[in-house]
Structure 1
Amino acid sequence: MARLTGKVAFITGAARGQGRAEAVRLAAEGADIIAIDIARNPSPHVKYAPATEAELEETAKLVKEQGRRVLTREVDVRDLAGLESVVRDGVAELGRLDIVVANAGIANYGLTWDLSEEQWQDVIDINLTGVWKTVKATVPTLIEQGQGGSIIIISSVAGLKGMPFLAHYASSKHGVVGLAKTLANELGEHDIRVNTIHPHGVRTGMNDNSLQSFIEKSPDLGPIYMPALPYPLVEPEDIANMVAFLASDEGKYITGTQLRVDLGALNR
């Protein structure tokens, strides 16, 4: 039997990349999926191509190919009412909620003192406050059901290490670690586990390649980004594997943990 048979997972940022890989992997493990994405450019400071409605539809198609049910919705994680609405609709259609994967996020680069207020705020609003809103929209249902659950927040190497040119991003990813640790304590009595995953670079296309120009101007900082293992990036499916583990009963005694999928970068 698949590890997540009879479960329902809510995944943000699910149109492509890690979110899509997580949706497909959890579906392959037997879960039905509530998949959301903003499906447009979330900030004028994001220079890589945004996710699209067609990509979200493709995620739904791939989930259905696993024989699972799926509900998709275009929702911005900054929109609490929108999140609450899709959770209500998803539970009404799919019957329950067991797994929450707070995956949505954005990235861009700049020296800390050169970031604009809007550039800073957009990253914090999506990567940190958006995770809190995701939790706020889903936790009441998990508690009311009284059957436990698993919340998995996608952080980053930058959530455990001071990464140059990423002050706003690193602050947001450090922030979700504190949020997860607090939630792990608050939700433990309800048998709801809360953990963070910390990837090194993931091959998702969420990069406008400007980081290299910053490193070239400050080459002494470049080694901070170097992994120990001989791979430049991990694949979205590698992160999805860890999500499936934490969502399953194999991870039932793990909470408040920071799971590193970092190619050894945090050992540097």
Structure 2
Amino acid sequence: MLLDGRSVLVTGGSAGIGQAIAIGAARQGANVAINYHGDDEGAEHTLDQVRQAGSKGIAVKGDVADPKTAEEFVSTATKALGGVDVFVSNAGICPFHAFLDMPQETVERTVQVNLLGAYYMVQAGARQMVEQGRGGSIIAVSSISALVGGEFQTHYTPTKAGVLSLMQSTAIALGKHQIRCNALLPGTIETDINRDDLSDPEKRKYMEARTPLGRLGEPEDLAGPAIFLASDMARYVTGAALLVDGGMYVNLQ
């Protein structure tokens, strides 16, 4: 039970990677609070799984693009769970679109959710951890796209590079408070974000062939790495970027 008795907050916890991390944390003994935007059914499923693991779980609805959501999420979770030990900033969007006719509203919404949303959520979580005075772990879900480009992701890849950079800078800013900050960089993970893109059999076959492990990732593949970074097993790990991509990034030939 690597997270026994700890309070873990996860944004975007109603589906995909966030849901898998929330459930995985509960199975390691953590009490869990999730933030989610619109999927009530998905949020309830997460909470059901958290409670089946014997842990306490709450859900707080709100749009991470609104800075007030971060304050409300952390405040509500702190009251319900007794504090914040681990904060996982995961919420993100990626509406695929060509570069030359990219709508302004698509760019701005992606930046607001992926980068500014992460910034304000991490800041709120860090403030609570500093006030508590017992350290903590902050994990942000960046992406392999922080390191490589994507033809239909020109609005998305800069935000994920920004999230990676945010973890590097906060690791420096918060180290004196014994708060560790690290980034997870998933490769191609099958979630709602890319389900339409991967529905093309040829695209799917190509992505699988690019991955040395021979398959696309599943949300549960991120739970273990997140739990490691959240736990005392990673007590001297901060400012790190952990690729979870089946080897895709290094497969250049």
- Superposition TM-score tier, normalisation by shorter sequence: over 0.9
- Give the counterpart of 1:254 among 237, 243, 248: 237
Q: Is the 8 A contact 1:225 1:265 kept in 2?
A: no
Aligned to 2:17: 18
Q: Is the 8 A contact 1:155 1:198 kept in 2?
A: yes
Partner Cα distance (1:56, 1:113) in 2 = 36
Distance 1:156 1:225 in 2: 17
Q: Match of 2:218?
A: 235
Q: Give a deviation string over 1:58-99, Cα, whole Å, max 9, x none.
A: 111110000000111111111221221221121112111110
Secondary structure of 1:266's counterpart equals coil
The CA distance in 2 between the partners of 1:89 and 1:164, in whole Å, is: 40
Letter paired with 1:135: V
Question: How far does the alpha carbon of each residue in 1:5-35 deviate from its partner, in whole angstroms, 9 at most, with x for none?
Answer: 1210110000011111101110011110111
In the TM superposition, 1:88-167 aligns within 5 A as: 88-167=75-154
Q: Is the 8 A contact 2:208 2:214 kept in 1?
A: no
The corresponding residue for 1:45 is none
One-letter amino acid of the structure 1 residue matched with residue 57 of structure 2: V
SS at structure 2 position matched to 1:173: helix
Please report how far the alpha carbon of residue 183 of structure 1 lies from its aligned counterpart in structure 2 after TM superposition: 0.3
1:58 equivalent in structure 2: 45
Flag the 1:32–1:191 CA change in 2: closer, same or farther, 3 A.
same
Look up the match of 1:4: 3
Q: Is the 8 A contact 1:23 1:33 kept in 2?
A: yes
The answer as to 2:32 corresponding to 1:30 is no
Q: Give the alignment partner of residue 84 of structure 1, picking from 71, 78, 82.
A: 71
Give the superposition deviation at 1:231.
2.6
- Aligned partners of 1:142 and 1:199: how far apart in 2? 26
Q: Deviations over 1:136-156 (max 9, x none)?
A: 221111011111111100011
How far apart are residue 205 of structure 1 and its match? 2.7
TM-score of the superposed pair, with normalisation by structure 2: 0.93
Instruction: Specify the code of the residue in structure 1 equivalent to 2:106.
Output: Q
Structure 1 pair 230/30, CA: closer, same or farther in 2 (3 Å)? closer
Q: Deviations over 1:111-165 (max 9, x none)?
A: 2222111111111111111100101221111011111111100011101112222
What secondary structure is seen at the aligned counterpart in 2 of 1:128? helix
Question: Residue type matched to 1:252 in 2?
Answer: R
8 Å CA contact 2:88, 2:139 repeated in 1: yes
CA–CA distance in structure 2, aligned partners of residues 225 and 255 of structure 1? 31
The answer on whether the counterparts of 1:227 and 1:263 sit within 8 Å (CA) in structure 2 is no
Aligned residue in 2 for 1:175: 162
Sequence identity (%): 33
8 A contact 1:227–1:262 mirrored in 2: no
Instruction: Tell me if the contact between 2:208 and 2:215 (Cα under 8 Å) persists in the aligned partners.
Output: no
Q: Which residue identity does 2:117 align to in structure 1?
A: G
Distance 1:7 1:230, change over 3 A: closer
Query: C-alpha separation between the residues in 2 aligned to 1:91 and 1:85?
Result: 10
2: distance between equivalents of 1:225 and 1:36? 31
1:266 equivalenced with 2:249 (yes/no): yes
Query: Take 1:31 and 1:210, find their aligned partners in 2: how far apart are those partners?
Result: 34
- Match for 1:124: what amino acid? V
Indicate the residue corresponding to 1:199 in structure 2.
186
Residue pair 1:109, 1:211 contacting (<8 A) in 2 also: no
CA contact (8 A) 1:108 1:208 kept: no
Partners of 2:171 and 2:78 lie apart in 1 by: 23
Distance (Å, rounded) in 2 between the aligned partners of 1:225 and 1:28 = 30
Distance 2:199 2:29 in 1: 41
Q: 1:20 to 1:124 in 2, by over 3 A?
A: same
- Gaps of at least 5 residues in structure 2 are none
